[in-house]
Amino acid sequence: MSFVLLFSFPSTALIQKYFGVIGILSYVTIVAVALLSVLKLKLQIFSFVSRFYLAILTCVVGFGIGCFWLLYPLETTGALGLGSDRDEALNIAFWQLVQGKYPYSATTHLGGQITPLPGAFLIASPFILLGNSAYQNLFWLAIFLLLTSIYLESHVSAIVMLIFLSFLSPAFQYEYISGGDLIANSIYVLTAIFLQMKALSSNSPIAKISACLFTGITLTSRSNFLTLLPLLFALFCRSAGRRSALTYLSLSVLSFVSLVIPFYLVSPNSFPPFSAGNKLSGLETTIPFLSTGIISLTLLTSLLLSIRLIRISKPSLLPSFMIACAIVQALPMVAAVLLMSILNQQLDFSFLHHRYGLMSVFFALWGLWPRLFNENYSRVGSLRG
């Protein structure tokens, strides 16, 4: 049930917009039935996928590229709605910076401010140079499939997971065809953590330092990822000891500070990633300091879960860490939905309209999929090298 709820949650606003509360209940039921079907028919499905893996992989890649090629131009021009400006925000910020201008002084065609932190347009820069930041989703989804195959030690289970996500998550589908950065954003944070864990078991100082710096850069993409720091500290403690964990996390935080502070000091009172980027601040028109309260609750939850990780058994460490990350990323969204529903005296998921709940889904998949499908669970849980 926890998998179904975490997986379905990001799409509820889109479902409610077109089909109402009954639509949400129907959607959650569909996800639950689909999951139970895959679990019940696991042997047949996995055997079929294994037998025709290359053909299925080719179809998945071809279908994904084809959908993006056909639908992205329609969505970005507004033919499928108002359009999205997340890809445009990264493009504008990068070229502003290249021209020696302050990237956060510009706005998108929808009038939106640039809200990603500097790490986001730094990581997107190769794709912007290729023509558009929207292309990064194609790359990072390929990385996700590769790393999931390594993580689960099963290329079959990995592609079944990706197909499940692609066909059953409207939030994922819309973010993908709109070229938004939330998919890439979530995956490269997950990738950094995975590489960090691999580096901890190596004898190479260069690998460890490089992994720390990359982790810091990925965290410097959106401010909500800072709530994962207590969990990262707990994970590193269990993997390398408290002293090493402090060193590694300090390097990551240092890279974060080095990237953010120069931009922040230009406009400390109205730094867009912290002001306009704080979507919870809109709730403060009804309840003062509500945003601060929710963020504090999220940090407290992260701290409590990190204490639990310190005590958890080694075989379940990494999946449990992923579940904790999913909970911490989803908690502010859940709190906002509950408060809006209470204030409006009806179930209201509109706060999730911009699909920010997606940032918990990839963590949830890595945390819960091994438990559901028993994919070398003990090996996954203690993965270090």
Q: Among 53-67, 96-110, 333-347, which range has the highest average pLDDT?
A: 53-67
Q: Which residues, in sequence order, are CB contacts of 212 under 8 Å at separation 6+?
A: 196, 199, 248, 249, 251, 252, 255
pLDDT of residue 279: 65
pLDDT of residue 375: 57
**Locus of tokens 């998945």:** 60
Distances (CA, A) of 272 to 185, 222, 243, 277, 333: 18, 11, 35, 6, 20
Q: Among 79-88, 161-170, 309-318, 334-343, which range has the highest average pLDDT?
A: 161-170
Q: How many CB atoms lie within 10 A of CB 235?
A: 27
pLDDT of residue 64: 94
Q: At what angle do helices 155-168 and 42-51 cross, to 10 degrees?
A: 110
- Give long-range contacts, CB 8 A cutoff, 24+ apart: 51-55: 53/155, 53/156, 53/159
- 5-51 per-position pLDDT tens digit: 999 999 999 999 899 999 999 999 999 999 999 999 999 999 999 99
Identify the helix (H) or strand (E) that includes residue 127. helix 125-130
The pLDDT confidence band at residue 290, using thresholds 50, 70 and 90, is: confident
% of the chain exceeding 90 in pLDDT = 57
User: In the numeric block, which tokens belong to residue 298?
Assistant: 């999220």
pLDDT of residue 385: 38
pLDDT of residue 107: 85
3-state secondary structure of 102: coil
Tell me: pLDDT of 161 over 90.
Answer: yes
pLDDT of residue 276: 58
pLDDT of residue 184: 95
- Cα dihedral: 157, 31, 322, 317 (round 10): -70
pLDDT of residue 285: 66
% of the chain exceeding 70 in pLDDT = 92
Q: How many CB atoms lie within 10 A of CB 149?
A: 17
The structural domains of the chain, with segments of one domain joined by +, span 2-381
Task: Select from 129, 132, 125 the least CA-distant residue to 84.
Answer: 132
DSSP assignment of 49-76 equals HHHTHHHHHHHHHHHHHHHHHHHHHHHH
DSSP secondary structure letter of residue 280: G
The pLDDT confidence band at residue 94, using thresholds 50, 70 and 90, is: very high
3-state secondary structure of 182: helix
Q: Are 350 and 320 in contact (CB under 8 A)?
A: no
Tell me: pLDDT of 384 over 50.
Answer: no
How far is residue 265 CA from its own chain's centroid?
28
- 302-327 per-position pLDDT tens digit: 999 999 998 887 778 889 999 999 99
Q: Which residues, in sequence order, are CB contacts of 257 under 8 Å at separation 6+?
A: none
222: left (phi over 0), alpha (psi -120 to 50) or beta: beta
The pLDDT confidence band at residue 248, using thresholds 50, 70 and 90, is: confident
Region 228-242 average pLDDT: 89
Average pLDDT of the chain is 88
Task: Select from 162, 114, 100, 112 the least CA-distant residue to 137.
Answer: 162
Q: At what angle do helices 155-168 and 170-178 cross, to 10 degrees?
A: 90
pLDDT of residue 195: 92
Tell me: pLDDT of 383 over 60.
Answer: no
Q: How far apart are CA 231 and CA 211, in angstroms?
A: 17
